[in-house]
A = this chain, B = another copy of it.
Amino acid sequence: MTNRLAEGTRRKSRIKRLQKLRTAIAEKGLDALLISQPENLRYLSGFTGSSGWLLISEQSAILAIDFRYVEQAKGESPGFEITQTKQQLRDWLPGLVSDFGWYKLGLEANFISYEGYHRLSEAIKTKQVNLELVPTTGIVEQLRSIKEPGELGFITKAIELTDAAFEQARAIIRPGITEKEAAWEIEKILRQEGSEGIPFEIIVASGSNAALPHARPTEKTICSGEPVLIDMGARINGYCSDFSRTLFLGKADKTFREIYSIVLKAQATAIERIESGMDASQADRFARSVVEQAGYGDAFGHGLGHGVGLAVHESPSLGPSSTDSLTDGMVFTIEPGIYLAGQGGVRIEDMVVLKNGKAKVLTKAKKDLLL
């Protein structure tokens, strides 16, 4: 019964998503939209295979997949017309489009390759199909950026999982263990507690390695008197969490205590001042001003945060040059950092949801570890 209810909810939410998408397709003057970006595909159809094509028009919802995925598609995407493709996109699409009488077909221009576009375009000419390809960007991504209650539920579970794993991880991060060993222990915790794989490679970066914002765990042994930056995520029902903390083993020196408190203040300032309706670049500005005023502006080289959902990095982007706007229902990270080459670094990352105009912090793990 519970499963049937869940299935019913899923179908209803998919129908709503298709309605919204069809409105967007009509607004852009398209007859149909071709979707193949994997998270967009999953969001709309439920299909989780690594390759497939969705064709959505006012009347149709077609899922085109090859031999390998036919059985899976039938199970995952009820309500969609499943078509088994042979050969390449350029071989079957022109005929299908012709059958439906579509004249303007939107493509995901950020996902289709230049070569794929070019070859499809050639095939349309060769087959003398009267079709205009229209490059589009961000249509489905925009829908995905506003989370439904069900999606927020899965994200919250993924966040609870990283919070709980961090509690256990703190006991693991001790002098003598290597970064790689620690990362593997954390991964085992996450997965044994129910994470579906992990959404990205866990970072455990100690000492001067903590100055690399995208460090990979190395064979380096973690020592006393060092900062340790941990960045990890979990996945529940496809939805991700993203989480960072920086620990210090032993007594931290003055510089480290200083940059830690600046990062913490930058984060708190952003969380407090962010409002729905605001430009995402303004959110970045709140945190960056704090870091700049403290004299570390050059050491905060990445954006303040990013949306999280089916992908661990998705819309909106919170950075100095972002053109996104913040809206109620968006879920994103707030993760300022300061990185000092050769010395180490600090990043503190929470996830928030915009609700009733303000940022509500979803991450619960402690961050006053040093103060």
Interface residues of A (CB under 8 A from B): 48-50, 66-72, 87, 107, 109-118, 135, 137, 184, 188, 191, 197, 201, 211-216, 301-302, 321, 341
Contact = CB atoms under 8 A, between A and B. Distances in A.
B118 A135 contact: yes
A77 to B, nearest CB: 14
B48 A216 contact: yes
Contact of A115 (B66, B68, B110, B211): B110
A50 to B, nearest CB: 7
Contact of A301 (B68, B115, B211, B213): B68
A10 to B, nearest CB: 17
Q: Which 10 A-B pairs have the closest CB atoms?
A: A67-B301, A109-B115, A114-B117, A68-B213, A68-B214, A109-B114, A110-B115, A71-B212, A110-B113, A112-B114
Contacts of A212: 68-69, 71-72
Given A48-B216, A72-B216, A111-B113, 11 more contacts: A68-B212, A68-B302, A69-B212, A71-B212, A71-B341, A72-B212, A107-B114, A109-B113, A110-B113, A110-B114, A110-B115
A18 to B, nearest CB: 24
Total identical chains: 2
Contact of A214 (B69, B111, B116, B213): B69
Which interface residue of A71, A116, A211, A321 has the most chain B CB atoms within 10 A? A71
Contacts of A70: 341
Contacts of A67: 213, 301-302
Given A67-B302, A87-B321, A321-B87, A72 B114 contact: no
A35 B14 CA distance: 39
A178 to B, nearest CB: 14
Contacts of A137: 115
22 contacts: A48-B216, A49-B214, A67-B213, A67-B301, A67-B302, A68-B212, A68-B302, A69-B212, A71-B211, A71-B212, A72-B214, A107-B114, A109-B113, A109-B118, A110-B114, A110-B115, A110-B116, A111-B113, A112-B114, A114-B116, A184-B191, A188-B188
